[in-house]
């Protein structure tokens, strides 16, 4: 039997399920990019508030594939979320009430235009915003070039410009657009990607956006390993039902949102979301400490032949290196919000990484290094240089990334990165990689940093004692 509205009551009592009447829901949120992270994180928060306010259900829009719609459509949008903690618990999430794809252009645009829609959220990963190294819309990107000449929407910015134009024409009123991706100042960056395209295509629309659209920044956090066969099998055992696409994540989740909405906002506070005027301290702590250390474990761990974050944390020289990096090299660059104790935050992140219930693939974290490292490590390195601190340790994950690129080049295994071609062409040449301004900006001209990377790169040579490089 398949999970669906009709079989919800067949679930065992141990599995939590929607306590609200799904037939009374209206879609107040359009979410673009309903991948695993969205379904693990935001959709679960929404599921928690729909009993109190049924106006915030989610219309999920997948721009690049039909996989989610194909899997969840026959299940009425329902799916199971496994929370991997000391004990695993299961919860069926009911907040997605509509599944759209790019094939249904008019339905997507009308959903963005509808007055009942008051929030558009996105998880399209760093590369989905098509920004250049300065944070403006990348007008040289081929997909953006096509959109500038009036082609049908294909990028996030293109869809939103078309959707907001439809909203303006329909008198749909003010709306909030909220990025839930791991970018510094994600609200500001999201605004650039949408507004720059609108300004080039239709200056009146750009002015309408200034008056009607807010772009709050957010910090999102929950470790979400990709769905695998082990999960599928355990879900069948726990629920007694077939679920075409269950999701897993750690028990911990955090969501901090800048309180800058156009009109009313979902009552997320009741579900543990923090609204704040200043989200920057939270974003920096999370991106630099958690994601920066994650990428470090990924690249160094893969060089050491390890597979998961859990294994990396069980490898003393690497776990100790990640901790030193966080405490001595990254933490000094962060001004935490008053309520945050950075040392306790680091302890908690390290404990989460070591969670024995989670097999989080290092190879998954290693994807898209060219898009992630600028936020995760390069900003920290820039701050350390400006403050006169050593960057020797911070150079190690960068050098490990360079060695990882060589591994991929030599093995022929696919390098998952939108800049794969340029990266593979430069693999083996640290100076050429450091000259990529879209990744390193002016850091590539900083002789102290370049020398530190070259030393770390030599220490991480194939066959070298890698533990010795982790000082």
Q: Quick one: 17 or 360, whose CB is closer to ligand CS2?
A: 360
User: Closest distance between ligand CS2 and the C-beta of residue 356, in Å?
Assistant: 17
Q: Quick one: 221 or 258, whose CB is closer to ligand CS2?
A: 221
Q: Measured between alpha carbons, how far is 10 from 30 in angstroms, rounded to an integer?
A: 30
Q: Quick one: 159 or 321, whose CB is closer to ligand CS2?
A: 321
Looking at beta carbons, which residue is closest to ligand CS2?
294
User: Closest distance between ligand CS2 and the C-beta of residue 141, in Å?
Assistant: 22
Distances (CA, A) of 297 to 34, 181, 350: 27, 21, 11
User: Closest distance between ligand CS2 and the C-beta of residue 253, in Å?
Assistant: 8
Q: Measured between alpha carbons, how far is 471 from 466 in angstroms, rounded to an integer?
A: 10
Cβ(130)–Cβ(193) below 8 Å:
yes
Q: Measured between alpha carbons, how far is 133 from 467 in angstroms, rounded to an integer?
A: 34
Q: Quick one: 39 or 372, whose CB is closer to ligand CS2?
A: 372
DSSP helix/strand/coil, 160: helix
Contacts of 453 (CB under 8 A, 6+ apart): 395, 398, 399, 402, 430, 434
Chain centroid to CA 27: how far?
A: 23
User: Closest distance between ligand CS2 and the C-beta of residue 454, in Å?
Assistant: 26
Residue-wise over 324-358: b if at least 16 C-beta within 10 A, else e? ebbbebbbebbebbeeeebeebbeebbebbebeeb
Distances (CA, A) of 65 to 78, 100, 154: 19, 10, 12
User: Closest distance between ligand CS2 and the C-beta of residue 294, in Å?
Assistant: 4
User: Closest distance between ligand CS2 and the C-beta of residue 290, in Å?
Assistant: 6
Q: Measured between alpha carbons, how far is 112 from 165 in angstroms, rounded to an integer?
A: 10
**DSSP codes of every residue in 438-450:** HHHGGGGG-HHHH
Q: Quick one: 299 or 449, whose CB is closer to ligand CS2?
A: 299
Q: Quick one: 262 or 331, whose CB is closer to ligand CS2?
A: 331
User: Closest distance between ligand CS2 and the C-beta of residue 178, in Å?
Assistant: 16
* Residues of this chain that bind ligand CS2 (CB under 6 A): 182, 221-223, 291, 294, 364-365, 372
Q: Quick one: 28 or 246, whose CB is closer to ligand CS2?
A: 246
Q: Quick one: 368 or 392, whose CB is closer to ligand CS2?
A: 368
Q: How far apart are the first and last CA of the chain?
A: 54
User: Closest distance between ligand CS2 and the C-beta of residue 44, in Å?
Assistant: 13
Bridging pattern class, strands 79-84 and 89-93: antiparallel
User: Closest distance between ligand CS2 and the C-beta of residue 96, in Å?
Assistant: 20
- Bridge partners of 176, per DSSP, are 119, 214
Q: Quick one: 227 or 239, whose CB is closer to ligand CS2?
A: 227
CA atoms within 13 A on the CB side of 153: 26
């Amino acid at each position: 039997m398949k999970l669906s509205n009709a079989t919800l009551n067949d679930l065992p009592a141990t599995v939590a399920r929607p306590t609200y009447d799904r037939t009374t829901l209206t879609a107040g949120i359009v979410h673009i990019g309903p991948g695993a992270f969205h379904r693990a994180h935001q959709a679960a928060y929404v599921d928690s508030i729909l009993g109190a306010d049924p106006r915030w259900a989610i219309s999920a829009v997948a721009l690049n594939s039909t996989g989610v719609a194909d899997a969840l459509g026959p299940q009425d949008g329902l799916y199971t979320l496994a929370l991997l903690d000391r004990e695993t618990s299961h919860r069926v999430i009911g907040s997605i009430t509509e599944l759209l794809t790019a094939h249904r252009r008019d339905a997507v645009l009308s959903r963005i235009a509808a007055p009942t829609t008051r929030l558009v959220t996105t998880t399209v990963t760093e590369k989905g915003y098509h920004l250049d190294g300065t944070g403006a819309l990348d007008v040289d990107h081929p997909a953006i070039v096509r959109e500038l000449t009036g082609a049908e929407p294909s990028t996030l910015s293109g869809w939103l410009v078309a959707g907001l134009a439809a909203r303006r024409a329909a008198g749909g009123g003010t709306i909030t657009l909220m990025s839930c991706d791991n970018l510094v100042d994600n609200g500001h960056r999201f605004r650039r990607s949408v507004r720059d395209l609108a300004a080039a295509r239709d200056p009146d629309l750009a002015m309408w956006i200034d008056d009607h659209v807010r772009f709050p920044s957010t910090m999102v956090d929950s470790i979400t390993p990709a769905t695998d066969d082990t999960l599928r099998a355990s879900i069948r055992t726990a629920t007694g039902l077939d679920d075409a696409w269950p999701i897993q994540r750690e028990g911990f989740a955090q969501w901090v949102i800048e309180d800058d909405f156009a009109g009313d906002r979902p009552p997320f506070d009741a579900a543990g979301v923090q609204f704040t005027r200043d989200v920057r301290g939270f974003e920096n702590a999370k991106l630099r400490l958690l994601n920066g250390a994650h990428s470090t474990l990924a690249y160094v761990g893969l060089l050491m032949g390890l597979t998961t974050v859990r294994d990396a944390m069980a490898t003393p020289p690497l776990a100790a290196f990640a901790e030193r990096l966080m405490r001595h090299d990254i933490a000094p660059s962060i001004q935490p919000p008053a309520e945050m104790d950075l040392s306790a935050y680091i302890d908690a992140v390290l404990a989460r990484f070591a969670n024995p219930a989670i097999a989080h693939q290092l190879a998954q974290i290693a994807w898209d290094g060219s898009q992630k490292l600028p936020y995760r490590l390069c900003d920290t390195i820039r701050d350390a240089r400006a403050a006169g601190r050593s960057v020797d340790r911070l150079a190690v994950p960068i050098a490990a990334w360079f060695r990882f690129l060589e591994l991929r080049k030599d093995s022929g295994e696919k390098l998952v990165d939108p800049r794969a071609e340029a990266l593979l062409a430069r693999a083996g040449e640290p100076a050429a990689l450091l000259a990529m301004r879209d990744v390193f900006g002016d850091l590539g001209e900083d002789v102290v940093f370049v020398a530190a990377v070259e030393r770390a790169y030599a220490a991480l040579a194939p066959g070298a004692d890698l533990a010795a490089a982790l000082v």
